[in-house]
Amino acid sequence: MARRHRRHHPQATVRRTGRYTFETTSGTRPGLMHAQDVLHLTCSCEAGQEGIRCWHLVRALLWEQGYRAIARKTARGERA
C-alpha cells in the first residue's frame, strides 16, 4: 500500500498538473484551488505570493516525493 503523507489539512487534495506543477484543493473552502510549482517553489495563494512557503507547497513537495517512491515500485496506472 502506498504511504500517504497526511499531516495538516487532511481533506485537501493535491493533484499533479504538470512535470513540476501541482494543484491543491482546499478542504476547508471547497472550490478554492491553488497552483504550486515545486521547481520554483511558488504558490498562487496569498502567502505564496509573498514568498512564504505555505502548506500547499509543502504538501506538493511531499506529494512529489511520495509519487517518486511509488513510481519506482509500481507501474503506471495508479491515480493519487
Which CA distances in Å does 33 have to 24, 29, 70, 72, 78?
6, 9, 25, 29, 23
Contact residues for Zn ion (CB under 5 A)? 34, 43, 45, 48, 54, 56
Q: Cβ closer to Zn ion: 51 or 77?
A: 51
Min dist. Cβ of residue 54 to Zn ion (A): 3
**What is the distance between the alpha carbons of residues 11 and 8, in angstroms, rounded to a whole number?**
9
Q: Cβ closer to Zn ion: 47 or 66?
A: 47
Q: Cβ closer to Zn ion: 9 or 66?
A: 9
Min dist. Cβ of residue 74 to Zn ion (A): 29
Count CB-CB contacts under 10 A for residue 9: 16
